[in-house]
Amino acid sequence: MTSLPSNLELRDIELRISTQPVPYREALEEMTARNARIAAGEARELIWLLEHPPVYTAGTSAAVAELLDPRFEVVEAGRGGRYTYHGPGQRIGYVLLDLKKRARDARGFVHGLEGWVIETLRDFGVETFRSEGRIGIWTTDVDGREAKIGAIGVRIRKWVTMHGFSVNVAPDLSHFTGIVPCGIDEFGVTSLKRLGKDVDLAAFDAALIARAPAFLASLESPCPPATPETTAPETGALETGAPETPA
């Protein structure tokens, strides 16, 4: 497995790669504190790539009926969205950026995250897409049906982002059956492994890092208005549908 140093520099943004699974509550506590410090001008921005031990996380729109089998710990995440599963074999990307330095466009930030993941997956021969009314990253599964391969959920406080994305590289897909993922029960979930792509996390990280400058550049301008060809992300991916009042 290709190795990467645990901490890299990406311009003036800290890029951290955790080599061991980080408990969700621990990561949430660290993210929350770092978010406040970035807003106060006391810390650098952060892109954090990691895995979690198996956990179900509940967003601000989560419905109890969508928690089908709480076989793992359930944690209220504080992000937008509904129930999501995180576990080994899934690449999590927590993105803590100060949008006051950029276009102050919450919708554009979510759109940019989606584009970053879509372009990275394309590097591995997987064509993915946005789908109107369904937040996240979608592809055509082995059975020919649409399936979700990546999830997006963010929170924006004082124009500083937190949470981010998850991509199913090679997780145990049976673990998703304990919830209705993101509240959408008519479509399944898939992974790079299920699609026949043998990709390790280090290789996926390297592709993400290579695509990061383009993602950051996309945040410099407001997101274009939504059209049928470029569907806008749902505001359900954002805390209470909008950022908290900026400082």
- Provide the annotated binding site for substrate: 79-86, 151-153, 164-166
* Nearest by Cα to 77 from 60, 93, 63: 60
Which residue type occupies 217? A
Query: What Rg do the C-alpha atoms of the chain give, in angstroms?
Result: 17
* Nearest by Cα to 160 from 106, 232, 213, 224: 106
- So which residues are the catalytic ones? 182
* Sign for the pseudo-dihedral over CA of 207, 59, 155, 29: negative
User: For the chain, first and last CA: distance in Å?
Assistant: 44
Per-residue b/e over 9-23, b at no fewer than 16 CB within 10 Å? Answer: eeeebbbebeeebbe
- Which residues are annotated as part of the binding site? 79-86, 151-153, 164-166
> Structure tokens of 98?
């100060």
DSSP codes, 161-199: EEEEEEEESS--GGGGGGB-GGG--SSEE--TTTTT---
What's the rounded Cα separation, in Å, for the pair 59 and 81? Answer: 5
Q: Is 147 exposed, middle or buried (0-12, 13-18, 19+ CB in 10 A)?
A: buried
